[in-house]
Structure 1
């Protein structure tokens, strides 16, 4: 296989006319030092730096690397930088569209290029978790014989999605989501660097905040939006990308929402109160505002879990299960798909029957404890599993409920200070109506009253 002439021509055109390439391409890192974020992987002496030959002894370690992390954080960029730093050909395949045939063609081409041109190859395989076991097996000979430097990317846990033989022969690097500070540094570099906008325009704070929100942690998306805004500003003869110009350029209105200020808490409060009020449409409106503003999906999921217990409780015991499952899914998949999960949970909570009885019950019990209404544990309930307990009267006279009809023993459980107190006042809404009937019958039996 000959070197990729189309890629070579494109790179040559970019060198002759850099402005013809998208900003995200022009700002593509050329060295590891230009990579945004991932500081934990880029320290001096790190495996990644040794892989590109930095430090003592040149390139070392495995010839296969697995990059694990959420989408849009630079997995492809890292692979490209490795190929550039080691002066190797860069070939990219996606496991979504490629199969064993395409992989073998690249490997065969790499072997010929190495022998004929003396040029080694970096094979970047995106979405490797989509390959079957047999397809992943086909990569092993190339990895073991170092015919290619395999750099595979996955958004799923590699211990579950990648075969053990390939995993054991690979350097596993876990990438972290880009922070706003990471993206802010990238934007500032793109604004001032000659490869980027070269100081042609500036980006005021409000426009920058909007751009960071719509980027959603994705570096390419951030640079694409910046380029669109800069193009519009320059066309208008403006020296800065105003918020209005950016909104028009990216066709996204700025949501008035400060993640560290009043709007953060006001909108979150409105979301929960809309759920409590069973207004599903208002619930979705506030949820959409939080999502569009770039709110942390884990924060939203936590609020929904709280609402499931505080506002629904035993009126629908499955509400908490739904909210917890939603939070787990959100943590695994992230945005943008997490919006669907959050919507499902929010709708279920808004339309569920409501009860705050569990919330009121624990607060009432806490209030009594804090007021000093605790008192000693009744002797028959105390621990009797030690020498001398019988002499003290501990655990004596305790009735074992499992030995009695109905499994309920008419004996005192609460301390004298709160004996007869009823903290749980169930509603008659939804499934809690059944709990109300059970609580009434059990309390009657505990008092020693006979059922009619």
Structure 2
């Protein structure tokens, strides 16, 4: 099976498992290759001792589930594969979205030698050794090597620098995988020489396809177990967009079922996670969310955290939870604690940047902040009353002294005449009508005496007394 030329040492680049699998190359430094004569769609014998997620790894691009934005016709990765050119890629996405799968499939369909390095366990010495080997094989046989570095963000700057000569000179086709933002975790020279591809968590339908394929495929469970619909729903929720997790849980449940049927109870026993009865499109969804918001509004932080945990465990979209917190921060806390909105927005950003499971901590912090904050509904009351007046036709023309006076001829029609520039007066406030006549004197914002809003209540009253020229103890116009 040796392909050595007369001038190269016999067997120098041969895979020690080639006689058995028909593949060449190395994987994880063990000699297990994925890119050999088996070619596109080819596969060696299935080793039942390998995890189900490994056995079900796609053999070609057409078998990859999800990531349609990366794999469709005309996309960069399709072009790179079809043209069979040296490439450098950085794959960024959450766990279980197919980063390793894409790397192995690319090496297989392009018949390249595949080497996988883990930044967790390997260092510069291993990197340089693999680059030297790839460079020698490229020069002696012309065969290219895919150097896949998993968790590349865990390499420090010096370790990432060691990759640059190989990437610059295209001695290898570098593919780095990271779950962290590469703009912060990958050095600029390496990133600028690579094509950045962002992978998205798999949707429910895509996860179902992965699970159902594993149930019947000869490489998977080959029809030895059945999966009930309710158990499949629970499995999809537990997976949280992670295909590897879905297959791992499925394999554990199959062992517990022992050739029978995987029910919700079997799945709960296998993964030690109770199934939360929660229909994201039914009554449970609306009831739990309603209880969640009302618990925060009622300042019961413990109940609010319970409902947060219930939604997270049921697989609720964390972005939905974050959006509700942002609304609640203004609707039920408002100016009583203006920092509540900042916390809620920051939690929403954390959900996007970090994702679950870590973002559960950020969501919990926002829930706690909003629950224990002083409450005020003055903001929503103010804007809704103002909108109500507008809808009733209380609009009227803008006062002439407030109209735009910057264009030629505006002064001739009285625009801007008599306008008082606020900064020219003590405190930056001067008696002057701002609202149209139809609503002049209406007071929409009525601050409470809770939290920080108590201070704003005093400020607003002082401002209004100046604007309207009334003593501070004069009552406002009745509604």
Report the alpha carbon displacement of residue 51 of structure 1 after superposing the two structures with TM. 3.5
Q: Deviations over 1:246-290 (max 9, x none)?
A: 111111111111122222222111111111011110011010011
RMSD of the alignment, in Å? Answer: 2.4
- Aligned twin of 1:7: 30
The worse-fitting range, judged by mean Cα deviation, of 316-325 and 388-397 is: 388-397
1: CA distance between counterparts of 2:405 and 2:396? 19
Q: 2:294 aligns with which of 269, 273, 293?
A: 273
CA distance in 1: counterparts of 2:249 and 2:186, whole angstroms = 35
Return 315-324 or 74-83, whichever deviates more.
Answer: 74-83
Deviating more after overlay: 310-319 vs 29-38: 29-38
State the Cα distance separating 1:9 from its structure 2 match.
7.5
1:74 aligns with 2:109: no
Name whichever of 91-100 and 431-440 sits farther off. Answer: 91-100
Matches within 5 A, 1:40-439: 40-52=69-81, 54=82, 58-60=83-85, 62-112=86-136, 120-234=144-258, 238=260, 240-439=261-460
Residues 178-205 of structure 1: per-residue CA shift (max 9 Å, x gap): 1111111111111111111111222222
- State how far apart, in whole Å, the 2-side matches of 1:139 and 1:8 are: 21
- Give the drift of 1:88: 3.3
1:21 partnered with 2:44: no
| More helix as a share of residues | 1
Cα pair distance change 1:317/1:198, threshold 3 Å:
same
Contact 2:33/2:114 (CA < 8 Å) preserved in 1? no
- Quick check: 161-170 or 328-337, which moved more? 161-170
**Distance apart, 1:121 and its partner CA:** 2.8
SS of 1:398's equivalent? coil
Deviation at 1:321, TM superposition (A): 0.8
Aligned-pair distance for 1:114? 5.0
Q: Name the CA distance, whole Å, in 1 between partners of 2:471 and 2:120.
A: 69
How has the CA–CA distance of structure 1 residues 87 and 133 changed in structure 2, closer, same or farther, with 3 Å as cutoff?
same
Aligned: 1:448 with 2:477 = no
CA distance in 2, matches of 1:435, 1:262: 40
Please report how far the alpha carbon of residue 292 of structure 1 lies from its aligned counterpart in structure 2 after TM superposition.
0.7
Q: Distance in 1 between matches of 2:45 and 2:378?
A: 71
In 2, Cα distance between the equivalents of 1:229 and 1:135?
40
**1:38 partnered with 2:67:** yes
Structure 2: 5+ residue runs without aligned partners? 1-11, 18-28, 35-42, 474-479
Structure 1 residue 93 displacement after superposition? 1.9
